Chains A and B, each alone.
Chain A
Amino acid sequence: AQSVAQPEDQVNVAEGNPLTVKCTYSVSGNPYLFWYVQYPNRGLQFLLKYITGDNLVKGSYGFEAEFNKSQTSFHLKKPSALVSDSALYFCAVRPYILTGGGNKLTFGTGTQLKVEL
């Protein structure tokens, strides 16, 4: 069975500083990895995903994530945090499958990012 771990419930960072939100995964076979962001009382917004190829994936709003197969990690990063980045971030994984039948994701428990002035 696949699983995702987000070891930090909350990450605090000062505006302008780099931020990292951690994610590790467990899956049989090749993983597809996703990051979503959720603002209060809103749905999940897609940020980026890793499918194959370059281990550094660039996404929306200046976010990027690095896929590390040996460490089974997919940490979310941003070089310079903004107060408006404060939100709940979810990592998700899905293994490669041969046939259709629904794109079932397994989500982590979420990390609350707080960016302060």
Chain B
Amino acid sequence: DAMVIQNPRYQVTQFGKPVTLSCSQTLNHNVMYWYQQKSSQAPKLLFHYYDKDFNNEADTPDNFQSRRPNTSFCFLDIRSPGLGDAAMYLCATSRDVAGGQETQYFGPGTRLLVL
């Protein structure tokens, strides 16, 4: 089945130790997104890739970076995790066509714990 896969599902890191979360998709969608979700709040968009074009949200901290080496994979790098970065990180994908009616499909998420 076509899907969005996130690894690992749970990640424990130490304060200040860089960590990378990964996302892959078999949907062949050209847009990939990273969201941060805390405590059952609404997901907060960090950034997205439209093909290879990177689009950062204005309020995303510099501590968060992303890479998309090819269509299928996208990575979220947290350079120096703080305690406030503990959250669920959600990857999503969509096709993008004029009009914007395409559905975003989410992966299962990676729960990050910072010690």
Contact = CB atoms under 8 A, between A and B. Distances in A.
Interface of A: 32, 34, 36, 38, 41-46, 49, 51, 88, 90, 94-105, 107-110, 112
B31 A103 contact: yes
A103 B100 contact: yes
B50 A100 contact: yes
Contact of A101 (B42, B50, B101): B50
Given A96-B99, A103-B94, A103-B104, A42 B42 contact: no
Contacts, number: 77
A6 to B, nearest CB: 9
A100 B109 CA distance: 26
A36 B43 CA distance: 11
28 contacts: A32-B100, A34-B104, A38-B40, A41-B109, A42-B109, A43-B6, A43-B107, A44-B43, A44-B106, A49-B101, A88-B40, A90-B43, A94-B100, A95-B100, A98-B98, A100-B96, A100-B98, A101-B50, A101-B96, A102-B31, A102-B33, A102-B48, A102-B50, A102-B55, A103-B31, A103-B104, A109-B42, A112-B40
B114 interface: no
Interface size class of B (residues with CB under 8 A): 20 to 34
Contacts of B109: 41-43
B109 to A, nearest CB: 5
Interface string B71-105: 00000000000000000101010101111111111
Contacts of A94: 100
B25 to A, nearest CB: 12
B27 interface: no
